Structure 1
Amino acid sequence: MTLCVTLSLQVFAKVFSHEALESYLPKIQLVIQESLRVWSSNPEPINVYRESQRLSFTMAVRVLLGFRVSEEEMRHLFSTFQDFVDNLFSLPIDLPFSGYRKGIRARDTLQKSIEKAIREKPLCSQGKDYSDALDILMESAKENGTELTMQELKESTIELIFAAFATTASASTSLIMQLLRHPTVLERLREELRARGLLHNGCLMPGELRLDNIVSLKYLDCVIKEVLRLFTPVSGAYRTAMQTFELDGVQIPKGWSVMYSIRDTHDTSAVFKDVDAFDPDRFSEERGEDKEGRFHYLPFGGGVRSCLGKQLATLFLRILAIELASTSRFELATRQFPRVVTVPVVHPVDGLKVKFYGLDSNQNEIMAKSEELLGATV
């Protein structure tokens, strides 16, 4: 039984509510800060897509699920999850060394590690200052007079990680690539942070990053929207026709599966001018190209079936952009920008090789806070 069947939409509303996002925020920021510190300490260029996958995986495990695992355990979990994802769409041929067999083995290993983390979780929850997604799922099930089995918990956990993994890594990579391509956009982000009192003498003011002032950063919102318009991580989604209808003279019978294309919608919509240009100002209050009609801009799908985690995803991207603008120097490590492919999600063919340089002077403070708030072994 999957998470979507087991648990109601009301439960997910709690997981991604304003209050929940507010409590996740400082933990997400620390995970991002620690990752950028590691990237900048590497003498060689990093593979941004690969490291963004590691970053989004770490965020899901340590923040969304509240697991306290060592760095060694995290590396093992990430490697196993990668094997699971890489073989997810293998042909169902159960032979030695087949992708299917590798995927099954990775799934079993992953579930064993997750079960260990779940069983240890109550021992680590004393003094926690927030309820993570797994806490909310378990508490909501109890409120409804049921209790999730260990198997349901493991499957729910894997689904939450999966939901926060590939698409977030794709969007994070696209964000970094566009900030590299458009240094004037990066400088305007810095100007907005300075104007809002969040950036002083090149440093992000400690303790000032809250959900309300992040939402107030209008140009940042435009940048994230434009990244998701031009580089939507997934191409589209499926829906089932609830009743027979007609579209452009073609009848679609009730019960048929229908696929809609997000990328084609963004590319062909008449509301967007010069669709191939990276132009965050198209989402400004003055222009508001996305306000000219429904379903022209839908990076997370549309209607009541839109992505439930879209607020968490955009919050993550906003914090990443803020940290990149305020604490990092980075440059392309190749002569040209790589070609972008769209399968299974949007990503550069070479992963995007980038050299990161030193962060601010608060590295020791970042590491200490990480250990305190996330229980990480860094």
Structure 2
Amino acid sequence: MLPTPKLAHIPGPPAPPMIGHTLQIVRDPYGTQAQFIDRFGPVYKTHMLGRWRVNLCGPDAMEFVLLNRDGIFSNAGGWDALQRLFPGGLLLQDGEIHRKSRRIMTEAFRAGALRDYRRRMGDAVDTLLAGWPARQPFGFYDAIKDLTLRMGGAVFMGLPLDGALARHLNRAIRAEIRATVTPIRLPLPFTPMWRGVRGRRFLRETFRSLIDERRATGGEDFFSRMCLARDEEGAGWDEEELLDQFNLLIMAAHDTTATTLTAMVWALAAHPEWQARVAAEVSERDPARCDVDLAEMTDTALVFREALRLVAPVPFIPRLATEPFRWRGLHIPAGTSISLNPGFTMLSEDLYTDPQRFDPERFAPGRAEDRRHKFAWTPFGGGAHKCLGMHFAETQVKLFLAALLRRYRVSLVDAADPGWQRMPIPRPRGGLPVVLEPRLGTLRRAVKHAAG
């Protein structure tokens, strides 16, 4: 147990009683950070979710902390806000336990497994998009949340696309996410934390009911592979470890993918020249076919990277210092909670030209602005805890956009920037209303199908 750190020498604003700066940061994390950096510099403290945290700003800080060459920064201690809801997940592990779990989980991301997921995702996307409305406004964010959840149920759990279980899973996952940033950290009745704990219980019971069957019969879905996964020494997870790992995984994969797709569709609808480029790239290509090289979808990849820069799915990364260290001339004692700022850093004028502007070409080989610093572009983190699912996420995004843009042109109901609620998981204020206009080829196929 580390002692409570003494941080009086660290600059920072006074904290309101009880809730500290939590609500201010949740409402406007980037604006708050810009304000505090102007007042206090790139190292300052804030009171967030019940404790003081020292913010280390910029790419140098991310490189130092995330690479963790001296082994003094703890993931488990940093993600303290998730301990009640996601204990034992990969994100909340350190050292040899983390390395073992990562080796086991890697088995579910092998090339053969990704091919199976790709086929299942392609079939699911085609089926689910058929139910979306055309020529009438609808909220894209809620629609894509529902689609990714139902598709995730098929790909991650081998469940049918339709059914009451998907709706129950969605409610439980949302309850867990809301509970991660609630100022009231105890599960008092009818509070967000209480609902989050209930959601966690439901998810674990659902997963537990499937384990014996999947271990006996296997399957091509993610959960079946995790049930059977072993590292090179033959070690796997016991039942409790498996439940902890999958509970965290399905939450993280579902919401971050929905956010990224929403940001990409908003950007493409607001910039029709880029929508035309991506649509042309996918018009003759069906990424659901495993013989199609997704790496050839270069314009889609540029948009993917730019959307993640503008709307980082994980705006802040926490760690706990287990040993004292110095940064920017300041002594940071052991036991200090550290906060890094990848989302804010990726909007820095020091790294990117006109950083608020949508400009996918900034990632093209001739410019490569993301290479101005090793940690200039970090939506998937870095170091030993860099996200295992980043290639899976890009595959999922390319499959969806190919299916969508072969069928429809997307336009915004309101041309103004929707504004983004950045925490806990970014989402557009107002839900991003859009209209889908069928492309000519889609109309021809529909007429041909109706004729028989």
The TM-score with structure 2 as length reference comes to: 0.68
Quote the RMSD (CA, aligned, Å).
Answer: 3.0
Q: Quick one: which of 249, 254, 258 aligns to 2:338?
A: 258
Query: In the superposition, relative to structure 1, how do residues 279 and 85 fare at CA in structure 2: closer, same or farther (>3 Å)?
Result: same
Q: Decide whether the 8 Å contact of 2:268 with 2:274 is kept in 1.
A: yes
Structure 2 distance, partners of 1:293, 1:85, is: 32
1:282 correspondence with 2:282: no
Q: Decide whether the 8 Å contact of 2:103 with 2:231 is kept in 1.
A: no
Structure 2 distance, partners of 1:243, 1:102, is: 36
Structure 1 distance, partners of 2:156, 2:187, is: 33
Taking the TM superposition and a 5 Å limit, the aligned residue runs for 1:1-378 are 2-4=88-90, 8-40=101-133, 44-68=136-160, 70-90=162-182, 91-119=184-212, 121=214, 131-141=220-230, 148-193=237-282, 199-200=283-284, 204-205=285-286, 208=289, 210=291, 213-241=293-321, 244-253=324-333, 256-268=336-348, 270-334=350-414, 336-358=416-438, 360=442
Query: In the superposition, relative to structure 1, how do residues 159 and 350 fare at CA in structure 2: closer, same or farther (>3 Å)?
Result: same
| Residue 299 of structure 1, CA deviation | 1.1
Mark the runs of 5 or more structure 2 residues left unpaired by the alignment.
Answer: 1-86, 447-452
| Residue 164 of structure 1, CA deviation | 0.6
Q: What percent of counterpart residues are identical?
A: 25
Query: In the superposition, relative to structure 1, how do residues 92 and 207 fare at CA in structure 2: closer, same or farther (>3 Å)?
Result: closer
Alignment partner of 2:435: what SS? strand
Alignment partner of 2:114: what SS? helix
Alignment partner of 1:40: what SS? coil
Structure 2 distance, partners of 1:290, 1:148, is: 37
Aligned to 2:72: none
Mark the runs of 5 or more structure 1 residues left unpaired by the alignment.
Answer: 194-198, 364-378
Deviation by residue 1:66-125 (Cα, 9 ceiling, x = unmatched): 234742332233233333433444424444433333333333333333333445546875
Larger Rg: 2
Query: In the superposition, relative to structure 1, how do residues 111 and 278 fare at CA in structure 2: closer, same or farther (>3 Å)?
Result: same
Query: In the superposition, relative to structure 1, how do residues 12 and 349 fare at CA in structure 2: closer, same or farther (>3 Å)?
Result: same
Q: Which amino acid aligns with 1:15?
A: A
**140-149 or 159-168: which moved more?**
140-149
**293-302 or 141-150: which moved more?**
141-150
Structure 1 distance, partners of 2:312, 2:169, is: 27
Deviation by residue 1:20-70 (Cα, 9 ceiling, x = unmatched): 2222112122222233222236x7532221222222222332112323474
Structure 2 distance, partners of 1:122, 1:328, is: 41
| Residue 243 of structure 1, CA deviation | 5.4
**269-278 or 333-342: which moved more?**
333-342
Query: In the superposition, relative to structure 1, how do residues 172 and 124 fare at CA in structure 2: closer, same or farther (>3 Å)?
Result: farther
| Residue 178 of structure 1, CA deviation | 0.4
The TM-score with structure 1 as length reference comes to: 0.80
| Residue 355 of structure 1, CA deviation | 2.3
Structure 2 distance, partners of 1:182, 1:338, is: 14
